[in-house]
Each structure stands twice: as C-alpha cells, then as structure tokens.
Amino acid sequence: MNLILTFEQAQEQFPEAIQDIENQRKAGKSKNKSIPLSELKWSIDWCVTGRSYSFQEVLQKATEEKPPEPATFEEYWEGKKGCYGVSLRAHLRQSSWYSHLKEVPHQIIDLVQKSWEEDQTENARIDALTPEEFDKETQDLIDELSGNPGFVQVNISFPRKENI
C-alpha cells in the first residue's frame, strides 16, 4: 500500500531517507539520476507482514482459547507495530529508489487506527446480532460468494462466544 507525498512533505519528515535515496541515485546507472529530487514522485510504501501457518496449526488454533482482544488502539498497536514494513519511495517512469524507515510514520498509524476503529464497530454490530440474524447474514454472504468463479466452501463449525 502506499500514501502519496509531495517532495516538501517528504523532505520535512524524512531528511535522512531522502539523503539515502540521493546516494543510491548517484551510485546507480539510471538515466533519471540527474533529474532534481523535487521532480520525482514520492510516497510512503508499507505492508503488513505475518507468519504463515500449516492447516494443522490453523485447526489447532481454532480450538485453543484466544487471548482477550486489546481494549484500546494503543494496546493493539503495541502488539502489531513490529509487523509493519515501511519505506520512503521516490520514482520516475520505470526507476524507483527506496529507503527503509525505522519508525512507522504518523500518517500510517492514523490509517491503521481508523481501520481498527471501523473493525471494532463492525465486531460490536455482529456481536449484537441474534443467532437467527447471524445465520441469515452469514448465509447471504455465502450465497453472494458462491456465484464467483473459484469460490470453494469449506464448512467448519466454531461455537459462538455465548456458547463458550
């Protein structure tokens, strides 16, 4: 994912990363290395990394008791911030230069917080559904997905929270 920046924003927030990118450009063979930094397109690129699990581990985790969900975004962020890989990117045409950022910028944290809050709202809505409403909504989603090519339905039953 990326977040577009102006050169001025990048220069103000990430002067060391810009210097790193400039050093890469000088050392490289790109035909675009003589173009001024202000003419490049700038962005913050980020991704969320995760661990892969075998099918057996997934099934095992499904039966284990889950730890409590974080009550605040700060608790959530403390457990997840190491999962974010973030770089400053400068590019022009087919040339790109990257500099890894040690800290996650506030713009990305703000986007993650907004997403977390939306998830919390949706989870509260789902938790408030009656079992009949929950089953109907689930079936509606399955019906919608089953019309897509490549959809495979696997039925695994998990108890709802109130049955645990």
**pLDDT tens figures, 65-92:** 877 888 899 999 888 888 888 999 999 8
DSSP 52: -
Q: Evaluate whether residue 150 is within a structural domain.
A: no
Q: Evaluate whether residue 110 is within a structural domain.
A: no
Reading the block at residue 79, the tokens are 């457990």
In this prediction, residue 161 carries a pLDDT of 62
Neighbours of 92 (CB within 10 A): 15
4-8: average pLDDT: 92
In this prediction, residue 4 carries a pLDDT of 93
48 beta partners: 84
Q: Evaluate whether residue 71 is within a structural domain.
A: yes
In this prediction, residue 162 carries a pLDDT of 61
Q: How many domains does the chain have?
A: 1
pLDDT in tens, 95-153: 889 999 988 999 999 999 999 999 999 999 999 999 999 999 988 988 888 888 888 87
The model's confidence at residue 51, banded by pLDDT at 50, 70 and 90, is confident
Q: Say yes or no to pLDDT of 164 above 80.
A: no
- Domain of residue 97 covers 2-104
48-66: average pLDDT: 83
Q: Evaluate whether residue 134 is within a structural domain.
A: no
Q: Evaluate whether residue 94 is within a structural domain.
A: yes
Neighbours of 25 (CB within 10 A): 18
Alpha helices in the chain (DSSP H): 7-13, 15-27, 55-63, 73-80, 106-127, 131-146
In this prediction, residue 71 carries a pLDDT of 86
Q: Evaluate whether residue 141 is within a structural domain.
A: no
Q: Say yes or no to pLDDT of 163 above 80.
A: no
Q: Evaluate whether residue 70 is within a structural domain.
A: yes
In this prediction, residue 89 carries a pLDDT of 94
Q: Evaluate whether residue 10 is within a structural domain.
A: yes
